[in-house]
């Protein structure tokens, strides 16, 4: 019985430590196994990264839409007698 409680307490301590480690990293949007004690990126850097990704995705979407429109115009020009 004593051995069971010792193993239970060791498992509990290890579980809490790993849970806190992973929880902090999840909260910071960091990889699970990264160091949770590193300095956190500030809000300006996060906003800049998000804006950059949004602009890149928007430019890609606009380019695809323009290419589709160009193809449709070419088809209509070719179809006219």
SS3 8: helix
Same-domain pairing of 28 and 52: no
Same-domain pairing of 79 and 46: yes
Same-domain pairing of 45 and 78: yes
Q: Which pLDDT score is estimated for 74?
A: 81
pTM flag (> 0.75): no
What is the residue range of 8's domain? 1-39
Provide the number of structural domains found in the chain.
2
- Dump pLDDT digits (tens) for 21-64: 999 888 888 888 888 777 766 778 888 999 999 999 999 999 99
Q: Which pLDDT score is estimated for 59?
A: 94
Same-domain pairing of 2 and 34: yes
CA–CA dist 32, 14 (Å, integer):
16
CA–CA dist 44, 49 (Å, integer):
9
Whether 79 has a pLDDT exceeding 80, the answer reads: no
Q: How far is CA 24 from CA 13, 31, 44, 50, 73, in A?
A: 17, 10, 20, 21, 53
Closest CA to 61 of 50, 73, 69, 49: 69
Same-domain pairing of 49 and 26: no
């Amino acid at each position: 019985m004593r051995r069971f409680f010792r193993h239970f307490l060791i498992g509990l301590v290890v579980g809490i430590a790993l849970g806190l480690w992973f929880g902090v990293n999840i909260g910071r949007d960091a990889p699970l196994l990264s160091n949770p004690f590193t300095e956190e990126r500030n809000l300006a850097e996060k906003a800049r990264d998000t804006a950059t990704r949004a602009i890149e995705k928007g430019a890609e979407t606009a380019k695809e839409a323009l290419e589709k429109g160009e193809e449709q115009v070419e088809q209509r020009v070719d179809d006219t007698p």
